[in-house]
Amino acid sequence: MLCQNCGKKEATVHLTQVVNDEKVELHLCRECAEKKRFHTPFEGVPFPLAEFLASMLDQSLIEKPSKVSDKKCSTCGMRFSDFSKIGRLGCGNCYVTFRSQLNDLLRKIHGSSQHRGGVPFTPGDVMKPLREERKLQEELKKAIQEENFEKAAQLRDQIKALSNKK
């Protein structure tokens, strides 16, 4: 098999990532893998984060070139192409502006693009329903671990009712 990046040399580095049940495969030759720094994240060299992120982005741009447009964040003025160079976003609103591109990238970095952790106690507590849902999710997980399926079914219905209200 030839390298997916240069298309010239034999691919010797094979990466497989399962992302939300979707298999992503990458086959590169040694030189391209080194260029993309995919092979040795643990050799004691400072981890070139921006480059690493950019290399992940390049792939997503290659995969879906038609969907990419260079949007600009209305709050801080950052463009997606700026982000792909520096690896950092400018403000919270960038996440809204670049939501679809970030969804792809986050799935590649974290294996998920859906937050399942804590929810802030904001003044006025507009986050209450989210926090409640999260608490029920944790209880559901526990009930399943304890094989208490009756309780699990109840919790599942409660969660469903909550998300319908949203």
d(CA 36, CA 54): 9
Minimum CB separation from other proteins for residue 7, in Å?
A: 29
Q: Contact at 8 Å (CB) between 3 and 11?
A: yes
Q: Given the complex with other proteins, which of 62 and 96 has the nearer CB atom? A: 96
Print burial letters for 50-72: b (CB count within 10 Å at least 16), e (below 16): eebbbbbbebbbeeeeeebeebe
Q: Which is nearer to other proteins, 9 or 113 (CB)?
A: 113
Residue 33 to residue 5: CA distance in whole angstroms = 9
Q: Which residues bind other proteins (CB under 8 A)?
A: 41-42, 44, 46-47, 49, 53, 75-76, 78, 86-92, 95-96, 99, 102, 105-106, 109-123, 127, 130, 134, 138
Q: Which is nearer to other proteins, 6 or 96 (CB)?
A: 96
Closest to other proteins by CB, 9 or 79: 79
Pick the closer one to other proteins by CB: 27 or 107.
Answer: 107
How many angstroms separate the CA atoms of 166 and 150, rounded? 25
Calpha distance 28→16 (Å, rounded):
12
The answer to whether 55 touches 105, Cβ cutoff 8 Å, is no
Q: Residue 21 Cβ, how far from other proteins at the closest point, in Å?
A: 13
Separation CA 86–CA 91 (nearest Å): 14
